Structure 1
Amino acid sequence: MKSPTKHSLGGLPITNRVRGTILHCTRYQTLSKSINLSLFSLFLISPPIIFFTRNIILQEEVNNRLAEELMQEVRNQINDGIKLQRQLELIESIDRLGLSSLFHEEIYRVLSVLSLNNCKEVILCGLRSTAICFQLLRRFGFQISEGIFDDFMDGDHDAFLPTLSDDVIGLLSLYNASYMAFPGEKKMESARSFAEILPGSIESAIGHALDLPLHRRMPWMEARMYIDMYELEDGMSPALLHLAKIHFNKVQSIHQKELKHAGSWWTRLDLGKTISFSRDRLMECFFYVVGIVHHPDYGFCREKLTQVGMLIATIDDVYDVYGSLEELELFTQIIDRWDIKGIVELPYYMKICFSALNDTINGVANHLYLDDRLEAIPYIKRVWADLFKTFLVEAKWHKKGYIPTLKEYLSNASISISGHVILFNTYILLKCKISKETLQQLQDFPNIVRLPSLIFRLCNDLATSSAEQERGDVSTSIQCYMKETGASEEEARLYISMLINDAWNDMNREYSACSKPQFSQRFIDASINLARMASFMYQHGDGFSAPSHQIKGSIKSLLLNSISNNLYERDMQ
């Protein structure tokens, strides 16, 4: 095959390049129009003042001194014999404010005692405290039965007592707790159905509470939103509130430096200009990565995961938008063999992709000890090769107009969504224990990877299916189910939503089983955060490729706009 020249990217007509169809030319143009100026480009045009003023003023020594004083005050509040109900509410607030890592010992000490006593004292405190206790115990890996709610149900334990319907705050806590359910827990199903019928006033009082269950929210975004809500709560702890603001601003300043560094990498790579048809979504990608691992100590992980995410998006567009089937097959074969010499056969833009991919893989592995690096690199290459094989399958399905069965589709699409590659690289980057056995287990798509990937895929399908069908893309799970069963689109969407709920329940059980895992807790948290990010980003449309005003606002509040902290500012004067 004659290799295209360096200028072939712009020189050949789109109709010859993209699977050889006029239809795909239209699809390319439609996609190009939908890819507007990236948020990062807008940031470069008009950088927020915060980068040059506020975060410079916040001196580290003042920040640390205030934080230590406030942390000690909050510790005293946890330990100083306050009522059990207040203690649980305080721990819940600490967790929602993103501060649980600062009070790890105190939280586990309280929850350990409750777990040993089977929460008998908590039940006497009422529905709200019982629901919070149940949620926290499962959240932090303790064993707790759904039977904790028996005292709030009728004699047969089939339904919750009607008198509870007036306890609005208790119902809200029950609603959130119900999303910690394991498969087959009928009482938790009953709890969700009962709590979903909340008085309308609760929505205006608590805003986003019913928009997305607490367990399925992006934790760091929840911390930012809850800071504003907590400030208005009766009985809030001023020390905890100000600590949360200081901590958020400190972590945000770290993320901002990382974002600027990521922008420099992307500019140097110049891949966005070389492959001009691809999505330039650096800000969205970094936001996604922060949602998976936000802890300030994981900066190297975020740096490399952002690079991984940008390459996934770019090469996905090569398969979806631009590459001919012949080129895609050749590219997939060369990646599968990792044939560096074979790249001379590739068109220029694919050579650039291969080179960037090779550099990124080496960058991910280079922080490992030599023996671990030699062990890990073949596995990293294999999960990338497996991803591109699924991209190729979808390209072939599209060319043939083939609609697979739902089972066949999910077998391929659960990998093509890229969760496997993201989590495999996350495991390496979090400096988890490297062994041949663990790497092989991760490569074999275990539940800790499969379930969040499935949720990622199905949430994506629900959000993007209509737009993708207009562009003539490959069928999603919705179309596959409709063709296979004769269901309407509405029925198909309900079925896919049910699959998402089932996957969440399976994942809850999986993470409970992982409370003494071969996988570290930080990797388990990252894994479930991938599913949470999918729920958040695709809740109201395609939050990655075509972010809504709401998503853009969330990105700005999390990454660009600091929080005013009057107590902190007075102390500095």
Structure 2
Amino acid sequence: MEELKIFTRAVERWDRDAGKEMPEYLKWFYNVFLDVYEEIYQETANMGGQKYRYDYAVRGMKDLVNAYQEEAEWYHQRYVPPFEEYLHVTMLSSTYQVLCLTSFVGMGDEATELPFKWAAEQPKILRASQFIARLMDDIAGHKQEKKRGHAISAVECYMKEHGDLTEEEAKKELHARVLNAWKDINEGCLRPNPIQMTLLTRILNLTKFLHVAYEDIDHYTHPETKFKEYIRCTIAEPLVM
């Protein structure tokens, strides 16, 4: 836990000197981590002063690491937060905000500062994507994660808050909320929007991937299931139209 705190403080400062307190294995990881973002910085510098792309990517990563820190504290304190508090933190730790921001970095002229600012302010479509990511992951992986002694899940928080529900009933209700969140995804893509569809498609496709990866079980953790076949059909032997 102490090492995670050191790492979180170092990321918040975002410089190599901040990693000097770390054990060697973590220091190595931290330096490689900064190397990746240094490459992003150099790429954005070559785009003609578009450093804002790098700045938003860094901001997203800081938010993600802070969310991981808070989850770790919950685990060590054996704290089961109210459902909405759980979502506030773990929608960030789903990684979908930082993935969205980072996916914009290498795009063309349509990725002005507006869509980065828009995404950083958590628009409805992005919140829906994070919500779907978190709940689909938790529903599919709850039992396995519990066996492995990992942190709490949305299922556990929801059951605690609605004490008369069984685990299966809680999962059913959460899945209904996932389906409802897809309406926000559709609305965000269909209604007039200042953000171009090429950018919105990034959010849509990330969400579609997650929904498939956790549709019935945790295919991401167990790729030998249907997921392996999906990858083969998509990449190794794609359908030629």
TM-score w.r.t. the length of structure 2 is: 0.91
Match of 2:90 in 1: 413
Match of 1:283 in 2: none
Q: Does 1:383 align with 2:81?
A: no
Match of 1:477 in 2: 154
RCO higher in 1 or 2 (8 Å CA, sep ≥ 6)?
A: 1
Q: Does 1:422 align with 2:133?
A: no
Alignment counterpart, residue 178 of structure 2, candidates 500, 506, 511? 500
Match of 2:17 in 1: 341
Alignment counterpart, residue 355 of structure 1, candidates 31, 34, 45? 31
Aligned residue identity for 1:550: K
Match of 1:371 in 2: 49
Any conservation in 2 of the 1:465–1:476 contact (CA below 8 Å)?
A: yes
Cα distance in structure 2, aligned partners of 1:564 and 1:528: 23
Shift of 1:549: 2.5
Q: Which stretches in structure 2 are left out of the alignment for 5+ residues?
A: none
Alignment counterpart, residue 512 of structure 1, candidates 174, 183, 190? 190
TM-score w.r.t. the length of structure 1 is: 0.40
Any conservation in 2 of the 1:336–1:382 contact (CA below 8 Å)?
A: no
Shift of 1:384: 0.3
Matches within 5 A, 1:136-215: none
Cα distance in structure 2, aligned partners of 1:548 and 1:540: 14
Shift of 1:370: 3.6
Equivalent pairs, count: 237
Q: Does 1:553 align with 2:225?
A: no
Aligned residue identity for 1:394: E
Cα distance in structure 2, aligned partners of 1:563 and 1:330: 48
Cα distance in structure 2, aligned partners of 1:559 and 1:382: 32
Cα distance in structure 2, aligned partners of 1:406 and 1:354: 32
Any conservation in 1 of the 2:54–2:105 contact (CA below 8 Å)?
A: no
Shift of 1:466: 0.5
What is the RMSD of the two structures over their aligned residues, measured on CA atoms?
Answer: 1.8
Aligned residue identity for 1:372: Q
Shift of 1:525: 1.0
Aligned residue identity for 2:89: N
Match of 1:332 in 2: 8
Shift of 1:365: 4.1
- Structure-2 change in CA distance of 1:361 and 1:564 (3 Å): closer
Cα distance in structure 2, aligned partners of 1:384 and 1:564: 37
Deviations along 1:300-322, whole A, 9 cap, x unmatched? xxxxxxxxxxxxxxxxxxxxxxx
Any conservation in 2 of the 1:430–1:522 contact (CA below 8 Å)?
A: no
Aligned residue identity for 1:503: A
Shift of 1:547: 1.6
Aligned residue identity for 1:502: N
SS at match of 1:371: coil
Alignment counterpart, residue 439 of structure 1, candidates 94, 116, 122? 116
Any conservation in 2 of the 1:456–1:530 contact (CA below 8 Å)?
A: no
Q: Does 1:459 align with 2:136?
A: yes
